[in-house]
Structure 1
Amino acid sequence: MSLFGYTRAGREPGGPRPPSPLLWIALIALIAGGLVLAFAWLAGWIGRDRVTAQTFTDAIEATGPPQPGFRRAHTKGVCVSGVFQGTPEGAALSSARVFRQRQVPVLGRLSIGGGDPHGADNKARVRSMALQLVSDDGQEWRMAMNSFPFFAVPTAEAFLEQTRAGMPDPATGKPDPAKMAAVLEKYPSARAFQQWAKTAPWSNSWANTAYNGVNTFRFTAADGSHRFVRWSMRPQAPFEDMTPEQRAQSDDDFLSEEFAQRLAQGPVRWDMWVTIANDGDPVNDPSQVWPEDRRQVKAGTLTLSSMQPQATGACRDLNYDPLILPSGVAGTDDPILAARSAVYSQSFNRREREIASGKAPAATGKEGAR
Structure 2
Amino acid sequence: MATGEDFLALLQAVGASGPDVPKPTPVEKFLATHPATVAFVTAPKPVAVSYGTQPFFGVNAFKFTNAQGTAKFGRYRIVPEGGPTYVSDEEATHRPPNALADNLRASLEKGPVKFHLLVQVAAADDPTTDATKIWPDSRPTVELGEIAVTKALDTEKVENELLYMPTNLTSGIDASDDPLINSCTEAYAESFGRRTAK
The alignment status of 1:279 with 2:124, answered yes or no, reads yes
Match of 1:317 in 2: 161
| Residue aligned with 2:86, SS | coil
Pick closer, same or farther for the CA change 1:277–1:181 going to 2, 3 Å: same
One-letter code of the match for 2:29? Answer: A
- What residue is the counterpart of 1:268 in the other structure? 113
**Distance (Å, rounded) in 1 between the aligned partners of 2:46 and 2:119:** 23
Does the residue aligned with 2:61 lie in a helix, a strand or coil? strand
1:181: which partner in 2? 28
Q: 1:182 to 1:303 in 2, by over 3 A?
A: same
Change (3 A) 1:253 1:226: same
* Alpha-carbon shift at residue 156 of structure 1 (Å): 2.2
| Counterpart amino acid of residue 40 in structure 2 | F
Residue 306 of structure 1 aligns to a residue whose secondary structure is coil
Q: State the one-letter code of the partner of 2:13.
A: A
Q: Which runs of 4+ in 1 moved over 6 A?
A: none
Match of 1:301 in 2: 146
Other-structure match for 2:196: 352
2:97 corresponds to 1:248 = no
2:140 equivalent to 1:292: no
Q: CA deviation at 1:247?
A: 2.0
Q: Per-residue deviation at 1:304?
A: 0.7
Aligned to 1:334: 178
Of the two, which has the highest radius of gyration? 1
Q: In structure 1, the residue corresponding to 2:106 is in which secondary structure?
A: helix
Relative to structure 1, the CA distance from residue 351 to residue 316 in structure 2 (aligned partners, 3 Å threshold; closer, same or farther) is closer
Tell me how far 1:350 sits from its aligned partner. Answer: 1.3
Percent identical: 27
Structure 1 match to 2:81? 236
Aligned to 2:11: 163
Q: Please, which runs of 5 or more residues in structure 1 have no aligned partner?
A: 1-152, 355-370
Number of equivalenced pairs: 196
Which SS does the other structure have where 1:302 is aligned? strand
2:37 counterpart of 1:190: yes
- 1:160 alignment partner AA: L
> Structure 2: which 5+ runs fail to align?
none
| 2:64–2:72 CA contact under 8 A, matched in 1 | yes
2:52 is the alignment partner of 1:207: yes
| Cα separation, 1, equivalents of 2:46 and 2:19 | 35
Deviations, residues 202-240 of structure 1 (Å, cap 9, x unaligned):
212111100111100001111112111111000113433
CA RMSD of aligned residues (A): 2.0
Secondary structure of the 2:147 match is strand
Distance 1:177 1:270 in 2: 44
